Amino acid sequence: MKFIARRTSELMDKRKLKSIVESLLFVNENPLSVAEIAKLLNAERGLIKEVIEELKSNYAERQAGIEIITVAGGYQMCSAKYNAEWVKKFYKDKFKQRLSNAALETLAIIAYRQPVTKLEIESIRGVNSDGVVRSLLEIGLIKISGRKEVIGRPFLYSTTKKFLEHFGLNSLRDLPDLNEGGVFSDGLKEITSANRQD
């Protein structure tokens, strides 16, 4: 009876440990190593690894919407790879809704004309673009890619990998033709065409 009671206690402790490890992986954006988790919980590394492997198996068996992957020597929780298409669609649609017309217009100019200075953006848009450019930098859709070798050496702006991801593009070559869009000014079409011919 004592053996059964002890075994039941061990199972309960392991269930609790599994629950804690699951929570830790869920709330962390960065990978967690077995050593980090073991130190935090004052548990053996072997037991932590065993618990993580059980969690991975549980998710796989029930085809859960999340999975635990090995990244940079640690473990990280993420959406299941077989749902990637829907997750990408959700974020792409959500992100598009958050962007104003001014932001989309500025993004288009940078995407087709890059690298481009803020003055060049403003000459095409016809309005001050300080706020829009700053906002796009903050959310990571554009970056400062250098300085133009002219008086004052202004910053040059280019799109980022995040830009491609959020708009479902493999590369900048996948950008739609301006003539198909119907939302850009003739000035933008002209400057883009000139840039492509250079």
Q: Which CATH architecture has domain 2-79?
A: Orthogonal Bundle (1.10)
**Average of pLDDT values for 166-181?**
71
Tokens 């400057």 sit on residue: 191
Task: Kindly provide the residue ranges of all beta strands, DSSP E only, lying in 24-116, ordered along the sequence.
Answer: 66-71, 74-79
- 29-40 pLDDT tens trace: 777 889 989 888
CA 111 to chain centre: 19
pLDDT > 50? residue 195: no
How many CB atoms neighbour CB 120 within 10 A?
A: 19
The backbone torsions φ and ψ at residue 183, rounded to the nearest 5 degrees and listed phi first, read -120, 0
Q: What share of the chain is helix, strand, coil (3-state, %, to 5)?
A: 65, 15, 25
- 84-119 pLDDT tens trace: 778 777 766 555 556 788 888 898 899 989 999 999
Q: Which CATH architecture has domain 86-197?
A: Orthogonal Bundle (1.10)
Ranked by mean pLDDT, which of 9-18, 44-53, 178-187 comes out on top? Answer: 44-53
What residue segments make up the domains of the chain, in order of their start? Answer: 2-79, 86-197
How many CB atoms neighbour CB 123 within 10 A?
A: 14
pLDDT > 90? residue 83: no
CB distance 51 to 41 below 8 Å: no
Same fold, 2-79 and 86-197: yes
- Retrieve residue 192's tokens: 């883009």
Q: Is the pTM of this model over 0.85?
A: no
